[in-house]
Amino acid sequence: MKTKLIFSTEKREIDYWSNLPFIPRIDEMINVKDILKNEEVNEIQKSAYCWSGIHGKVKSVEYRHDDNEFYIEMIIMCED
């Protein structure tokens, strides 16, 4: 399903779009390297105070609607 991933650190939030075959639950850990490219992970890591660059914790999952379809919006916390 079309998914808006919002990777959050203490300094900023970075958005990426993806098609995930699953819907994670709140407080579930996600392997970020399975979803993003290395360059994208490095960009998030630069804005984090302390993050391994491997796992993120799902903070919220919401269903949204744009002009044509529904999509999932997830906020993933990237701080250890």
- Tens-place pLDDT, residues 30-44: 999 999 999 999 999
Q: How many angstroms separate the Cα of 65 from the Cα of each of 4, 13, 18, 38?
A: 11, 21, 16, 30
Count structural domains, the chain: 1
Q: What's the whole-number mean pLDDT along residues 33-57? A: 92
pLDDT tens-digit readout, 3-28: 999 999 988 999 999 998 888 899 99
Residue 55 sits in which domain range?
2-77
pLDDT of residue 77: 96
**For the whole model, what pTM was predicted?**
0.90
Instruction: Report whether 30 contacts 24 (CB < 8 A).
Output: yes
